[in-house]
Amino acid sequence: MGTTDDEESNEFPPEKRLEASNTRLIKPGIATIPDMETLQECVAYENAHQNRTQILRRLKWKAEELRENKE
């Protein structure tokens, strides 16, 4: 039985993607966000917890990339 998209995003909840001890490790966490829903969860998480400008900027770039890929 293969993993569903749901199971995959649960494996990497926002706190796992964004709570790396080193910001270099956060970049791949953002780069591997598969869809807008996951991205929005990460933005909400970041806003509620750390609210780091550079991380929010990266999430914004990822949103633009996801939108472009959809078209």
pLDDT tens digits for range 44-58 = 999 999 999 999 999
Q: Where are the alpha helices (DSSP H) in 1-71?
A: 5-11, 14-18, 23-31, 36-48, 53-70
| Interatomic CA distance for residues 67 and 21, integer angstroms | 29
Query: How many folded domains does the chain comprise?
Result: 1
Q: Is the pLDDT of residue 2 over 50?
A: no
Q: Is the pLDDT of residue 10 over 70?
A: no
| φ and ψ at residue 33, rounded to 5 degrees | -65, 125
Q: Is residue 45 part of a domain?
A: yes
Residue 3: per-residue pLDDT: 47
The predicted-structure confidence for 57-68, as pLDDT tens digits, reads as follows: 999 999 999 999
Q: Is residue 2 part of a domain?
A: no
60-64 contacts, C-beta under 8 A, 24 or more apart: 62/30, 62/31, 62/33, 63/36, 63/39
Q: Is residue 8 part of a domain?
A: no
When pLDDT is cut at 50, 70 and 90, the band that residue 9 belongs to is low
Q: Is residue 1 part of a domain?
A: no
Q: Is residue 49 part of a domain?
A: yes
Instruction: Print the domain residue range for 18.
Output: 13-70
Q: Is residue 30 part of a domain?
A: yes
Mean pLDDT, the chain, whole residue set: 86
Q: Is residue 3 part of a domain?
A: no
